[in-house]
Each structure stands twice: as structure tokens, then as C-alpha cells.
Homo-oligomer: A and B are copies of this chain.
Amino acid sequence: MSELQVPELEASLRDAIKEVLGTTLGGNPEFIPPDESIKGLSAIIEISGGMSGYLALHVTSEDACKVAETMLDCSYPDVDDIVCDATGELANMLGGSLKKFSGRYIEPFKISVPKIVRGKDYETHAAKDTEQIFLYVRVASVRFTMQLVVYTVPN
């Protein structure tokens, strides 16, 4: 990927966030300063084809429960399989929306089934030869980190 496409990809990711998080959580997404405390559950979607990399949505366990409550209209006091699946579904919608908005700049890509990682203490390690975009968002009191990693050397 040429460096020139990074701003266009970031703009597409912002559009996807506004569309999906705004619609699903019923609020106006607000971009906030970097916040390293937003972690606990991550939904990761592999991207291949027009570009290679992954899209990760990070959220706290408490906020993942709020997401499931809003999406499924049911109460979830703790993270369980349903909360994981709801967060994965949200990442899936974000991946689909990113594909749509970025279609003006890059060839179509494929997205995988979301993979969920959860825990109290973990981090993802970015490989060499990557471009990374981080966006921090608050919607209806829920905070998210969106991470888009693009491999700059073809797989």
C-alpha cells in the first residue's frame, strides 16, 4: 500500500465508525484522545485481498456488556459467550462498512469471521512492515479503540 492511502483509509474508517456505531448504539460517535485503559475484550477481523491486515475493536469488559445490552435488549452483568458474539458482530459490521467506504480508494477486500481475545492483561504485537491507524471513540457512554493494521509487504 502506498503511504498516500493511509489518510483515505483513516477517513473511511471514521465514516464506518459513524455509520455503524451511531446506528447500532443510538448515539453520535465522538472521537476522543488516546486512552490506553480501553481494553479487556478485542474482536479481530482478518483482511485479505485488496489489502492485507486486520481490523481490531477493543473495548472494556463493562462496555462490552453494555454493547450486548443495547444490541440484544437484555441484561448481561458479565462477559459471556453472548457478549463476545455481540462484540464480534459489531466488529463484523464495522469491517463491512469499512469495505464499502474504502471502495473508492482500494480494490475490494475480504473479511474473516471475528476472532475474540479477552482478558485482564494482554496486548497485540504489530508485525514489522505495517501501517497502523488507531481511533478512539465514545458513543452513548461506551468507549472503543479501533485499530486498523495494514501489511505493507505483500503476504
Contact = CB atoms under 8 A, between A and B. Distances in A.
A113 interface: yes
Contact of A118 (B116, B118, B123, B155): B123
Contact residues of A: prevailing secondary structure: strand
Interface in A93-129: 110, 112-125, 127-128
Contacts of A114: 127
Interface residues on A, range: 20 to 34
A117 B117 contact: yes
Interface stretch (A12-20, A25-33, A44-52, A135-143): A44-52
A117 B124 contact: yes
Interface string A50-82: 001010000000000000000000000000010
Nearest to A84: B125
B113 A118 contact: no
A118 B124 CA distance: 6
A122 B120 CA distance: 6
Contact of A122 (B84, B88, B122): B122
Contact of A115 (B85, B116, B124, B128): B124
